[in-house]
Amino acid sequence: MERKIDAGSANLDRRLAAAGAASHGIVTARHVSQLGGDKNDRQRRLDAGRWVELYAGVYRIGGAPETWRSNLLAACWAGGPRAVASHRAAASLWGLPGGREAVEITCPRWRRTQKDGDLVVHESRLLTAVDVTVRDAIPCTTIERTIFDLAGVAGSGTVDLAIDSALRRELTTVADLVAIGDRVAQRGRTGSARYRNAVAQRDPSQALPESEPERRLAEALVRQGLPRPTHQHVVRNALGGFIARVDLAYPDDGIVIEYESAVHHTGKVALERDSARRNAIVGCGLVALTATAEDLQDDAVRLAGVIRQTMNATNRRQSKPIVGRD
């Protein structure tokens, strides 16, 4: 009889280990019941120190490493069937700027999770099935809902970068971002105005910035009172041949701007390449300006001044009357 109990226990352990392997080493009382175990089976494993109870009815299997993902999944399962990773935690799962390996979840008010420590719980009645998906075996908010929620806990710059990242990786579209804003953004709801403003600036026909410094530089120029520059502008010669793709540009003023980082612009080969490229751009009659990390540090004050001078000079040349001889 004793051998039968041991064999049954061993079989249960194998089934639970298989379940845990697919869920970051986390199982629940429901898993135990579905696999043929009961409350006594759970308690024996706890008493023997083979399991750790993270929340009521939520356990880490012995030998499974404690990770951010395992803690996040445990919190979601503790919050009930409608609890999901959200905000900065969901942003991290999606690989978005503004993401943080926090244990941050959203669940309905009537299934609120309470626990001391680093757990952050957001209560929402507006989280529906259409806002929920799964990332790495963890229930979480969709990319659109994640960005919307991020707008409530992060600054405008971070939200802009998150949108850029999601659009560049084709995780969403401007239309889908607009749609969720129309559905959940409400007057007085934290982040709604910030989210709407960020999405409203997106033009599906315009190129996206390819880097965080490029986005930050463009926003700094706008703060200095300049028009919003064009991202990833293509320079062509008089015959329409491709010359270069530049980070930012004011095409109507004949100004292009390249952001140079020490990482990508160091060494003789890089110097020769960049010089040839710049000469080709200037050869098309454009003014080529260079921005660096220092321009981000001073909020583009110096660069904005140079751009204004160049724009003014261009306007004077264009408005100067043509004098000829009879």
At 267-279, the pLDDT tens digits run 555 556 678 888 8
Give the pLDDT score at 110: 46
Mean pLDDT of 175-179: 94
Q: Kindly report which listed range (75-89, 215-229, 264-278) carries the lowest average pLDDT score.
A: 264-278
What is the token pair recorded at 36?
Answer: 């043929």
Q: Do residues 220 and 302 lie in contact, with contact meaning Cβ atoms separated by under 8 Å?
A: no
Give the pLDDT score at 114: 53
Q: How confident is the model at residue 258 (pLDDT cuts 50, 70, 90)?
A: very high
Helices and strands in the chain: count of H runs, count of E runs: 13, 12
Read out DSSP for 58-127? Answer: EEEETTPPP-HHHHHHHHHHHT-TT-EE-HHHHHHHHT-TT-----EEEE-GGG----SSS-EEEE-S--
At 148-163, the pLDDT tens digits run 999 999 999 899 999 9
Q: Is the pLDDT of residue 8 over 80?
A: no
* More reliable by pLDDT, 326 or 312: 312
Mean pLDDT of 168-196: 90
Kindly report the average pLDDT of the chain as a whole number. Answer: 86
Dist. CA 245–CA 34, nearest whole Å: 58
* SS3 category, 35: coil
Give the pLDDT score at 2: 40
Domain boundaries, the chain: 14-66, 80-205, 212-319
Give the pLDDT score at 276: 86
Mean pLDDT of 290-308: 93
Q: Is 142 exposed, middle or buried (0-12, 13-18, 19+ CB in 10 A)?
A: buried
Q: Kindly report which listed range (43-57, 128-142, 208-222) carries the lowest average pLDDT score.
A: 208-222
Report the 10 Å Cβ neighbour count for 40: 8
Q: Is the pTM of this model over 0.85?
A: no
Give the pLDDT score at 62: 87
Q: Do residues 34 and 12 lie in contact, with contact meaning Cβ atoms separated by under 8 Å?
A: no
Q: Which CATH superfamily is domain 212-319 in?
A: VSR Endonuclease (3.40.960.10)
Q: Is the pLDDT of residue 321 over 70?
A: no
Residue type present at position 227: P
Q: How confident is the model at residue 190 (pLDDT cuts 50, 70, 90)?
A: confident
Give the pLDDT score at 4: 42
Q: Do residues 115 and 105 lie in contact, with contact meaning Cβ atoms separated by under 8 Å?
A: no
Give the pLDDT score at 207: 78
What is the token pair recorded at 163?
Answer: 């949108």
